[in-house]
Amino acid sequence: MRLGGRIQAAIEVLQDMESRNRPVSVALKDWGNNHRFAGSGDRNAIGNLVYDALRKRASTGYMFGGEDAEALIFGTLLRQWGMSLAQIQEALADDKFAPEIPVARIEAASQKDLAFMPSEVEADVPAWVSDHLEEAFGDEWVEEAKALAERPPLDMRVNTLKAEREKVLKQLSKQGAKPSKIARQGMRISAKGGASRMPNVTAEPAFQKGWFEVQDEGSQIVADLVFAQGGEQVFDYCAGAGGKTLALAATMDNKGQVHAYDADKQRLAPIFDRLKRAGTRNVQVHAADAEIDHLHGSFDRVVVDAPCTGSGTWRRHPDAKWKLTEDQLESRKLEQAAILDTARNFVKPGGYLCYITCSIFQDENEDQIYAFGDRHDDFDLLGAGEVWEELFGTDAPKPWTTDFNCVTLTPRTTGTDGFFFAVLQRLK
């Protein structure tokens, strides 16, 4: 396919997503199934166009006077793919699959006065979200939000149970993998622009052999901040598909025990294959409440990687940014408080309760921790900032922190997805 056909396809995917209220991944997959002739390069380019368009939906819509699919896709070519109108015209000339170029709209958008663009539009977030971001980041909230509207890199974590980072980096050097700036076992392939493709690293023999996992650097860092030590008893209470479980087991060098539990069996299901491939021998998986009741008061560390709005992952899931509602945020907050209150029972006296979210909203983060402290005076909030310096030194990029206790990672500060980490110690 030439660029014209790809543009037309991206417009159709956005329209389909909108009219049938479907996730972007489903609309893209459906388009692929209905257009079997399209090669992987075409699918990738169409996906890039659609995801980039969603990342800056509000600001592009503002420039074009509407958030319709035509405006968003041509706006993406101009703003994010760096093409001029003349270049677009040249690329689409004599392409019978190309849509008509909205020349007048593009010219008007290029001349639009942006001086009065509302902050939430510049930030590319829903209007109701701006208060939450301002609460979290003060005057810097727009810059923080803008960094969440950029393309993310591909991050991987080396599985130290099977390989050393140097060795895996060598294997992936052709793909452009470099050591991460913060995570000690991290590797990164940076995002490039336009129709560029991320390599399919899971097809690499090194992945099949379990030498590395695909995991955002922020997720690796918060797993590291748990500070699990070999020989300890650790409970991953919201284990999901096991991203943190695998990282914890590797940090502990297969010594001690990691117990992995999730209230949702379906989410837990992939963990078994992943554990096998990674060569972990110290993980017990629990899919039923009855299996964990007797574990009260027995853990050195309990990790609550809580269900949340996922606002820290909007670079990777830009459609979720526009679908999130205040009601959903309120529901997540109630769940988080209830899970913390239950999970604390598993911590032994002197042990630690680690709270993680992939959200950047204070109401899901600091506010939850301070409210938990008010409800339970047998827990003390410790300084995660000190653990940070011990693990990553003082030269690495620093997270956002208001009090040196709780830390918030963001694309702008740490170059990672947005994550929150806090640790409390059980006193008695």
Identify residues 212-231 at the interface with ligand SAM (CB under 6 A): 219
Using rule CB under 6 A, residue 267 touches ligand SAM = yes
Q: Catalytic residue at 358?
A: yes
Using rule CB under 6 A, residue 292 touches ligand SAM = no
Residue span binding ligand SAM (CB under 6 A) among the ranges 19-27, 106-114, 261-269, 384-392: 261-269
Structure tokens at 230: 């070999």
Using rule CB under 6 A, residue 307 touches ligand SAM = yes
* Distance (Å, whole) CA 249 – CA 352: 17
Coil, helix or strand for 288? coil
Nearer to ligand SAM, 76 or 220 (CB): 220
Of positions 117, 147, 169, 263, contacts ligand SAM by CB under 6 A: 263
Whether residue 363 is annotated as binding a ligand: the answer is no
Of positions 6, 244, 259, 321, contacts ligand SAM by CB under 6 A: 244
Identify residues 330-349 at the interface with ligand SAM (CB under 6 A): 335, 339
CB of 232 to ligand SAM, least distance (A): 18
Amino acid found at 190: S
Those residues with Cβ within 8 angstroms of residue 418's Cβ, 6 or more apart along the chain or in another chain: 148, 218, 311, 312, 313, 314, 358, 359, 360, 408, 409, 410, 411
* Distance (Å, whole) CA 358 – CA 77: 30
Residue span binding ligand SAM (CB under 6 A) among the ranges 11-19, 121-129, 193-201, 239-247: 239-247
Strand-pair partners of 301: 234, 352
Nearer to ligand SAM, 51 or 261 (CB): 261
CB of 295 to ligand SAM, least distance (A): 13
Amino acid found at 184: R
Whether residue 253 is annotated as binding a ligand: the answer is no
Residue span binding ligand SAM (CB under 6 A) among the ranges 27-35, 185-193, 203-211, 257-265: 257-265
Q: What is the DSSP letter of 290?
A: G
Going 191 to 361 to 420 to 142, the CA torsion angle's sign is positive
Nearer to ligand SAM, 7 or 384 (CB): 384
- Render the burial of 233-248: b for 16+ CB within 10 Å, e for the rest: bbbbbbbbbbbbbbbb
Q: What is the DSSP letter of 400?
A: B
From the list 171, 75, 61, the residue with the least C-alpha distance to 120 is 61
Residue with tokens 């409390």, as numbered in its chain? 424
Whether residue 377 is annotated as binding a ligand: the answer is no
CB of 309 to ligand SAM, least distance (A): 11
* Positions that interact with ligand SAM (CB under 6 A): 219, 237-241, 243-244, 262-264, 267, 305, 307, 335, 339
Q: Which residues are annotated as a binding site for S-adenosyl-L-methionine?
A: 262, 289, 305
For the annotated catalytic residues, the residue numbers are: 358
